[in-house]
Amino acid sequence: MDPQTVATLTQQFFNALTFGGIYALIALGYTMVYGIIELINFAHGDVFMVGAFVSMSVIVGMGFTGAINDPVTLLFVLVVAFGVTMPLMGLLGVGIERFAYRPLRNAPRLAPLITAIGVSFILQNVIQIIYGPSPKSTPQIIPFTARFELFGASIAWISVFIFAVTVILTLGLSLFVARSRLGRAMRSTAQDREAAQLMGVNINTTIALTFFLGSALAGAAGVVYGMSIGTISFALGFSAGLKAFTAAVLGGIGNLTGAVLGGFLIGFLEVAAAQLGYASWSEAITFGVLVLVLVFRPSGLLGQPLGERA
């Protein structure tokens, strides 16, 4: 291969890692919530969007509007941005669950789906009213000039950073779910809610915790999205949500590893489409993938086969 092609491929590989990481973080929330209460949380993409706005406000509120070149200050701002946004979004998720989904837990499936759509629109419009309808530019505090050379391509450190954030948060989540007492409660609730309750698991707390974790991860995705893309709008959550959901289904809904794998696959697919000149079709392509997966392998790449009305 000639050097130019290698450089382009390397460049696009890291672009795909960036998008894939963001989709993976959002997809984790979809997959966790679906795994535990079998609800497609349509508002989840909008939680991500709110996270991006909150993170922007936090960073701008601290007085930073551009690249921060001092490493210590940068680290501090990053810690504050994640430290504020993630718990806030977690609480938002818990609030949504408490008021919009929990009262309908025993209702037919249509009811919580409709409230989910309603919550999604409430979030979008509240943000639109607060921040205005036009896209906002966010401070890209990790300098884009911080780059390194690889195979002739110039790679911004931020794409490595996003990948690292995704890996760390995913590993942390997997460890939490696999090892901790609360994680075990989550798994048992997902398996059989009533049996878990009989074993002394507090169902409400466990489900709230699931929403907290999933929404906090979406908040983290919002933070990194604002930093890497640089513009955010109130309508952001819709298409990101659709792609992340596709990622979750592709990987096998309910499966954490699958969600991350699916997120990166969708990221690569999107970047490949853009490289081939079909950037404006990326949503159509994602949707096509979603339909194909649902038709030919509804359980996803890593998922267990789902029983009818499982």
Partner 1 sequence: MSAQAAPLNGGRISRGGVRGPIGAFTSRHRSITIILGMALVTALLPLIVTLPPLSGFSAQTVWIDSFSKAGIFVLLALGLNVVVGMAGLLDLGYAAFFAIGAYTYAYGASTFTDLHVPFWILLPIGAVVAAVFGILLGAPTLRLRGDYLAIVTLGFGEIVPIVFKNASTWTNGTNGIAGIDRPLVPGMDCMPAAGQALCFGGTAPVPYYVVMAVLITLVLIVLYRLQDSRLGRSWQAIREDELAAASNGVNTVTTKLLAFALGASTAGLAGVFGASKLVFVSPDQFLFQVSFTVLAMVVLGGLGNMWGVALGAFIIYMIQNVFLKQLNNFFDGFHVPILSDIDFLQYQFLLYGVALVGMMLLRPEGLFPSRRRAAELHTSADLAGSDTEGPDPLGPEGRGDEA
Residues that bind partner 1 (CB under 8 A): 38-40, 42, 99-100, 103-104, 106-115, 117-122, 124-126, 128-129, 238-239, 242, 245-246, 249, 280-281, 283-284, 286-287, 290-291, 294-295, 298, 306, 308-309
* Half-sphere exposure in the Cβ direction for 217 (13 Å, CA): 32
Task: Give the nearest distance from C-beta 242 to partner 1 in angstroms.
Answer: 6
Of residues 72 and 276, the one with the C-beta less far from partner 1: 276
Task: Give the nearest distance from C-beta 12 to partner 1 in angstroms.
Answer: 21
Of residues 125 and 205, the one with the C-beta less far from partner 1: 125
Task: Give the nearest distance from C-beta 41 to partner 1 in angstroms.
Answer: 10
Q: Cα separation of 50 and 123, whole Å?
A: 7
Rounded to 10 deg, the angle between the 44-61 and 71-96 helix axes is 140
**Cα-to-chain-centroid distance, residue 270:** 16
Task: Give the nearest distance from C-beta 150 to partner 1 in angstroms.
Answer: 33
Contacts by 91-96, CB closer than 8 A, 24 or more apart: 91/212, 91/215, 92/47, 92/50, 92/215, 93/29, 93/44, 93/47, 93/211, 93/212, 93/214, 93/215, 93/216, 93/218, 94/208, 94/211, 94/212, 94/215, 96/41, 96/43, 96/47, 96/211, 96/215
Of residues 115 and 140, the one with the C-beta less far from partner 1: 115
Task: Give the nearest distance from C-beta 215 to partner 1 in angstroms.
Answer: 17
Of residues 6 and 122, the one with the C-beta less far from partner 1: 122
Task: Give the nearest distance from C-beta 278 to partner 1 in angstroms.
Answer: 9
Of residues 150 and 242, the one with the C-beta less far from partner 1: 242
Q: Cα separation of 81 and 222, whole Å?
A: 10
Of residues 17 and 43, the one with the C-beta less far from partner 1: 43
Task: Give the nearest distance from C-beta 195 to partner 1 in angstroms.
Answer: 20
Of residues 182 and 306, the one with the C-beta less far from partner 1: 306
Q: Number of H helices and number of E strands within the chain?
A: 11, 4
- The answer for 309, left when phi > 0, alpha when psi is -120 to 50, beta otherwise, is left
- Give the dihedral sign, CA 199/203/208/210: positive
